[in-house]
Structure 1
């Protein structure tokens, strides 16, 4: 994936782009990442780019992108991302979002229902059920993350630390700085709880929608999958066994297949 920059009215936005050679491009696809961010080496992006021309914008404050203090609330995030789509010159791309990115994608489809015809939401945030509270991501310690995010916590921990010396003070310092910077931005819509009234707007979504969920998701329990399905007219739910919140890396092929059904 190539790292590029596009200028919106308010801020330059860094994004990854990749896909089939010119003339063999599949449908344009915009991927919105979760609170953990995304990198050029992300295997999920690579899998998507086998069949689609993929654009994956970084939320400001992620990677080497500039922070954007003017992006303060859910409406700002939503309109900012529409600005990115416009700056990229895209018309009706397949819109895909994971976790926090799924929350943003759902808001985009709700606020501009006639501009999105295909929508894939992968374990999106955005709803709240008092009987099934979402764990507090901001109070979770690093060693607790694998069990929260993966069906196989041991394998998840290995993936999260691959090639890194977690006992190196330099690694820990860089991790803490990066994590604080990214979660500081994500916290504007996820803290103290990831709920900004989306439930009342889901009915506005007209896009053909597929919801993709890992059966073992401990961060966004599957009860939320059924809440989204109930709220979005005609939404299809694809439940993937032996997968947690990071279904995109545990069951990449199954997720890509579910998205591919959108055309």
Structure 2
């Protein structure tokens, strides 16, 4: 993820078009706010919807779409869903100002301060779940509960996390979803028939992954195990898709070992994204946990 290059206008177009992707039938659009942090070098676009206690959603490595899962949570909570730096429409170069995971964590901390979110529950998916843990560990008093959906952050040689950057784009649905031909997979990895639109879609996906990958690979163990004790007593829901091919179920044991108040929910007929494949079930379980 170097400096400005010849492909940046294409990236800007792709990320801009991604903003208009529908979240699905019956899903209504949230309010979008832009908040600049990190000496105003990093503008976050934050999607906000709902009423009630604050919930912050940290999305995974394939970008943010306001979907049925988030819409369901917004019926009971005020949901704040920031777009990861670099994936905000028209601002692809933003990621250049975030040099390390520590920078990223502090950016999110500043963002929550500016939003006036003094206490909240955190919900994170995949890479976003790792970020949620790190932001929570920085300031444990800010976090009421944690819901981690197929999180990364640890490493076991006997059960390595699959490096999704090495997976051919056409094969990603098979790795992320239990049903690669289902509606959720088609929505997340949709490639238009039009050649130019297809190129933009692939660029958007590649750029979104790159903006996350700089904080993950070559091994997604950035020292979380040295910091997670700061949130070990935080009530936590660990949700895993039964058929997760990217992050093996054995990692549920790793997280549970460090989070003493964690409970586990295994979602059937789901892969690495249970909140997308089984949105209604996942939203019900998460909402009941957060409200309990």
TM-score with structure 2 setting the length: 0.82
Corresponding residue of 1:142: 169
Q: Distance in 2 between matches of 1:185 and 1:165?
A: 23
What is the root-mean-square deviation of aligned Cα atoms in Å?
1.7
Q: Distance in 2 between matches of 1:220 and 1:104?
A: 16
Cα distance change of structure 1 residues 90 and 157 upon mapping to structure 2, 3 Å threshold: closer
Q: 1:61 aligns with which of 63, 68, 86?
A: 86
Corresponding residue of 2:27: none
Q: Deviations over 1:140-189 (max 9, x none)?
A: 11111111011112215433455x534x3212321232233222221221
Q: 2:255 aligns with which of 206, 228, 231?
A: 228
Q: Deviations over 1:58-111 (max 9, x none)?
A: 111113153132312221111111111111001211111111110000111222
Residue 239 of structure 2 corresponds to residue 239 of structure 1: no
Q: 1:13 aligns with which of 22, 29, 44?
A: 44
Q: 2:229 aligns with which of 192, 203, 206?
A: 203
Residue 61 of structure 2 corresponds to residue 30 of structure 1: no
Q: 2:173 touches 2:189 (CA, 8 Å); kept in 1?
A: no
Q: 1:13 touches 1:65 (CA, 8 Å); kept in 2?
A: no
Q: 2:58 touches 2:123 (CA, 8 Å); kept in 1?
A: yes
Residue 197 of structure 2 corresponds to residue 171 of structure 1: yes
Q: Distance in 2 between matches of 1:157 and 1:68?
A: 26
Gaps of 5+ in 2: 1-29
Q: 1:213 aligns with which of 240, 247, 251?
A: 240
Q: Distance in 2 between matches of 1:161 and 1:184?
A: 16
Q: Deviations over 1:110-151 (max 9, x none)?
A: 222222121111111111111111111111111111110111
Task: Count residues with an aligned counterpart.
Answer: 255
| Other structure's SS at 1:210 match | strand
Q: 1:159 aligns with which of 181, 187, 195?
A: 187
| Other structure's SS at 2:199 match | helix
Corresponding residue of 1:45: 70
Q: 1:73 touches 1:189 (CA, 8 Å); kept in 2?
A: yes
| Other structure's SS at 2:44 match | strand
Q: 1:209 touches 1:235 (CA, 8 Å); kept in 2?
A: yes
Q: Deviations over 1:199-231 (max 9, x none)?
A: 222222132111111111111111111110111
Q: Distance in 2 between matches of 1:252 and 1:32?
A: 16
Q: Distance in 2 between matches of 1:117 and 1:204?
A: 13
Q: 1:133 aligns with which of 140, 153, 160?
A: 160
Moved more, 31-40 or 199-208: 199-208
